[in-house]
Structure 1
């Protein structure tokens, strides 16, 4: 006899086997076929169904030549799919951890790292580890390092400076990068074969990374060398999407890493402007905690 459900009390009486049998019953369509598939007697299968309906407090199927799920039955079916799916995924994750692997990596990267090979490394890594998910976090290097220190990040891709030599961190240099000056389709210079030099751009509307970011620090140092320290950006943004949108829609000049500029040039979104002298950015490196490394992360670093 069914009883009225009360909050979550009914769930405490529900067993994993109830959910497994219910999905099998729904797929088979009859008690007889479900029992045969599970190597049970029909009476045992009927007993489990009756017990399940007693637990949830409402009929789950309409009996006939072929069983039909009631509205409550459909709700329980979705619960069974969710719970059993989570159990299966957790089981795989536990097995991976026991083998020295992890089911997810959290990777932080500055723009330069994203443009300088991170997507290719992810693709190569997941060809080896199909079950490992990767979460990518982009943003200012200082913020990413905070994530590395708090262990919310497994590895961070950024510039090699004094911060990469902190105690407890390891690093590997990936490539050298520079700072580039770019325009987009919104610029009046876009369709011109010849673009003005740096001195001819000083009074344009500039989009730059925020103060304190390495790209901005290096570019500000370049401005001082060029006697243009007075130049103030019209827009500051740490969002690559925002910079792309501004350069696409408006008459702006942008500043970003050369690796990112090359990436955007390759897909026809940016044009790099010629500079009289190179603006150094620095070596791009991947960093991780020595006490937070595992076999999965080591494989990812190798792919980088």
Structure 2
């Protein structure tokens, strides 16, 4: 892990600063841990180690609240600036390396069909001869993280995503939402269902840390009360395993019903659910001409007229 050195006895890792900044922004250790993809005890341990290195407490902790100390308040702008500077430097380094190797790193959600990604890659190669695309599946719970942190230059994602306000995007298409049902489910005798038919169901859900993405796939704003959660998952295998076992139901895109064919799992159109938007996303206000050409290839592949 890269480290910043402040002198002979102060040696602070970037991970420690990221933990500090997340807790300082949320003023909540559990929420910060979810955002970081860590456990709450791991974040607490990292903060305690940082406080030990600095020789001063950074937070006042109680059962009711978390509050920054004077030392924490003074560290906040320093940590923000240092992490931003490092992330900018790392992003520039990756851009230089990409230019040298002529490889564009792109994230994609597992529900994106190969026919679309193949068409995008072919269009990009026409626009940028000699370049290739390295596709990487993104994390279900925090799919935009790679773009926000600079490890990916762009991504094909299902909206909404955590951190979307820090991204630019182009919507490529809108897909109907379906519900996945197990063998023997009471709704299998219907060709389509409505959200009201699902209000008493138990759902297979994304982790709480996925925020707006989890809420969208639970249609949480349409039931008038929090949906019942049977299980939380962060990958397709666990999602379908829970459906097959009859633990709950789950919503997914129309394209996913073609990508994922599993015994014991049946799909029905949710007739009144808002469509899912597939978008290409990139760093806000980004001016990278390579990324711009990739976006153009995405738009042409999504609407090949």
Q: Which has more strand, going by share of residues? A: 2
